[in-house]
Amino acid sequence: MRTILYLIRKEFIQIFRSKFLSKAVFGVPIVQMVILVPAFTLEIKNIEVCVVDRDMSAESRQLISKLQGSDFFILKHTTFSDNEADAMLHNNQCDLVLHIPENFGRKIIKEGGEKVMVLANAINASSAQLAWNYMRGVIQDYNSDLLIENLQYKPPSRFLIINTSSRFWYNPTLNYKYYMLPGILVILVTAIGLLLAGLNVVREKETGTLEQLNVTPIKKHQFIIAKLVPFLLIGLVDLAFGLVLGKILFNIPFNGSLALLFLFSSFYLIAVLGLALFLSTMSSTQPQYLFLVFFVVMIFVMMSGIFTPTESMPRWAQQFNTINPAAYFMRVIRMIMLKGSGLNDVLPDIKGIILIGIGTISLAIWRYRKTV
């Protein structure tokens, strides 16, 4: 035990002796919270619309007014030419084109309905889908207004008005920051575990310190524990620091158990640190390790569900996420922070991350034995 404590002390001295590591421990969370959380928005605003109004009636002007009154749309241009509107869409000068046909107002009043055409720039499919949903909401609101106006001309008994109200659980205000900040914290903890821990080992390879340790009587499990503990503690400190910043800067809610979150985070960090030690044994220089980690982190983080639900991914991607530690943490941290989930809710994920941790630590020990 004394040997492990001496080795852990040596690791802390080495970490804080490095100017880069000592600054990165507290600098990275501040940069990620201040820049990434507001920047990674799931909302789309300032959607530029070109309107082709061939009717010029009171009804068409009412629809355009609805569009202008929305917080999401900007009326970029109005024209009578379909070709001009299509050219603007083709040249990325607008995001949507709304075509209002001739006799639009007359058909609504006399025939009870008419069609409009909406063209969307779908180079970015998700943005186009959201823009269309916003446009559909404006048109539905316009239809509701027409229905209310027509009540004075038709017997009330012919209309059945249903009042609906919406309630969004766990994020009532639909604040995207509540959804994104837990994801940014996952990236933070992953970076601490994979990047800093692995670079520390590879740097020792380059300086020859690791060779000196190999000829000492320390055991392999002592070496692994000494490498794990400092960055495990640093990762938990950074997680706590990120939670505090999130509360101060964005008033992020925390509805679950703080102890449960840190318990799961400890298991997650062990799994990630084991992977970092395994990857470090495969790299001879720091650039090699950085390239390898970049490849691994990109796959793990992008498939973890930070932007899109894992349930919407193909079947093979969902099966891959059973060995993706970031997918477990991404799901659990949002469940605990936003839903207030308890131990029984996250127990399957705890079992899964423990199995992954056992696997990565075993790989690190096996690979380290081969390189001694």
Q: What is the pLDDT of residue 236?
A: 92
Q: What is the pLDDT of residue 212?
A: 67
Q: Please state the domain count of the chain.
A: 2
Distance CA 262, CA 275 (A): 20
Q: What is the pLDDT of residue 370?
A: 44
- Is pLDDT above 60 for 154? no
Q: What is the pLDDT of residue 151?
A: 59
* Mean pLDDT along residues 48-68: 88
Residues 6+ apart with CB under 8 A from 285: 202, 206
- 332 vs 164 pLDDT, higher one: 332
Residues 261-319: tens digit of each pLDDT: 999 999 999 999 999 988 888 888 888 888 888 888 889 988 988 887 888 888 998 89
Q: Based on the domain organization, do 180 and 299 belong to the same domain? A: yes
Q: Based on the domain organization, do 71 and 92 belong to the same domain? A: yes
Q: Based on the domain organization, do 227 and 106 belong to the same domain? A: no
User: If you average pLDDT over each of 14-18, 144-148, 174-178, which comes out highest?
Assistant: 174-178
Which of 158, 189, 213 terminates a domain? The answer is 158
Q: Based on the domain organization, do 255 and 118 belong to the same domain? A: no
Q: Based on the domain organization, do 185 and 143 belong to the same domain? A: no
* Residue 315 belongs to some domain of the structure: yes
Range of the domain at 252: 2-40+176-371
Q: Based on the domain organization, do 148 and 238 belong to the same domain? A: no
* Residue 166 belongs to some domain of the structure: no
- Is pLDDT above 90 for 92? no
* Residue 113 belongs to some domain of the structure: yes
CATH assignment at residue 134: 3.40.1710.10
Q: What is the pLDDT of residue 155?
A: 53
Q: Based on the domain organization, do 207 and 250 belong to the same domain? A: yes
| Straight-line distance from the first to the last Cα atom of the chain, in angstroms, rounded to the nearest whole number | 22
- Is pLDDT above 80 for 18? no
Q: What is the pLDDT of residue 345?
A: 92
Which of 158, 187, 212 terminates a domain? The answer is 158
DSSP-derived 3-state class of residue 75: strand
Distance CA 192, CA 80 (A): 57
- Is pLDDT above 50 for 90? yes
DSSP string covering 84-148: HHHHHHHTTS-SEEEEE-TTHHHHHHHHS----EEEE--SSHHHHHHHHHHHHHHHHHHHHHHHH
Confidence class of residue 372 from pLDDT cuts 50, 70 and 90? very low
